[in-house]
Amino acid sequence: MRIDELIMKNFLLNKKETKKAIKEGLVTVDGKIPAKISQNVDSSVQDVIFRGEKVIFYPHKYYMLHKPVQTISANTDKKHETVFDLLENVDKSELYLVGRLDFWTSGLLLITDNGKLGRNMLNPESHVEKIYQVTTKEPLVASDVDKFAQGLSIDGDVLLKPAQLEITGAHHANVKISEGRNRQVRKMFLSTGKLVTELKRIKFGPLDLGEDLAPGQYRELTIKEVESLIPHFN
C-alpha cells in the first residue's frame, strides 16, 4: 500500500494534509523519512510511525503456491484448471500472479495483492533470480555449463544473459536465470540439443519452495519471507 494512502486511512486526513505531513518529516518507515509519498509499504512487517504513533496495519496478502503440471497460470480458463481454482477459502478478488509458469511446468508461484511488489519483481531491471530443476531427454555434458555461462541465443537472434547451470546427474540439472522470457528455460536447453522433459521452479527471488508444499498446495508466506521481499517494495 502507498504510504500516503495508509496515513489517510488511519488518521482521516485529506490528500493535501497527508502530503504536507510526509514532506515535513512527520512520517517514518523503519526510522527513515519516505523518499516519496507514493512509497510502497506493508506495516505488518515495517515500522510506520506518524507523529510518534504507530500506524495500524492493513496487511497485504502473500501466498506461495506449488503449481502442478497441467494447470493454467491464470485467474480463469474455460477448458483447464487454473492455479486460482486451487486457492480454496481465499478472497481472490484482488489477488494476481507474480509471473507465470507454462502448462507443463510445475513449481513456485507467488500470489499477492501487493501490486507494486509484483511489478517490481517482474521488471527486467530488477534482475530477480529464478532457479529451476530440469530433467532432459538427452544426457548433459560439461560443455553445456560453459555455453550457459556465455549466454545462449534463442528464437533466432535473441541473446540471453549468462546463466548458471549446475549438472546434478546425467539427465538432471539446476539452472539459475535472471530473465523471464516466454518458455525461456526450455528454449535454452533446446538450443544445446537437449529436450526438457520435466521442469520445476524451486526458487523465485528470496523465496524457496522447499520440500513441504506438495503440488496443488499453497500457504501464506511467513513474516520472515515477507520481510525478505521488502527490497522489492519500491
Which pLDDT band, with edges at 50, 70 and 90, does 144 fall under?
very high
Active-site amino acid positions: 102
Q: What is the pLDDT of residue 204?
A: 98
Q: What is the CATH number of domain 129-204?
A: 3.30.70.1560
Residue 118 contacts residue 96 (beta carbons within 8 Å): yes
- For domain 3-54, the question of CATH label 3.40.720.10 is answered with no
Which pLDDT does position 190 carry in this prediction?
96
Indicate the pTM of the whole model: 0.85
pLDDT at 174: 99
Q: What is the CATH number of domain 62-124+207-232?
A: 3.30.70.580
- Residue 157 clears pLDDT 90, i.e. is over it: no
Nearest CA-CA partner of 21 in 44, 52, 58, 42: 52
- % of the chain residues with pLDDT over 70: 100
Cell of 174: 539446476
| One fold for 62-124+207-232 and 129-204 | yes
The 10s digit of each residue's pLDDT in 176-228 is 999 988 899 999 999 999 999 999 999 999 999 999 999 999 999 999 999 99
- Least confident residue range of 37-41, 118-122, 153-157: 153-157
Q: What is the CA radius of gyration of the chain?
A: 21
Lowest mean pLDDT among 3-12, 144-153, 163-172: 3-12
Q: What is the pLDDT of residues 7-45, one digit of tens each?
A: 988 887 889 999 999 999 999 999 999 989 999 998 889
Res 71 pLDDT > 90: yes
Task: Give the start-to-end residue ranges of the domains of the chain.
Answer: 3-54, 62-124+207-232, 129-204
Record the cell numbers describing residue 11, joined without a space: 488518521
DSSP state letter for 124: G
Query: For residue 124, what pLDDT is reported?
Result: 87
CB 8 within 8 A of CB 14: yes
> Which of 109, 121, 114 has the alpha carbon at shortest distance from 45?
114
Q: Say what the pLDDT of residue 156 is.
A: 82
* Cβ proximity of 86 and 75 under 8 Å: no
Q: Does the pLDDT of residue 58 top 80, yes or no?
A: no
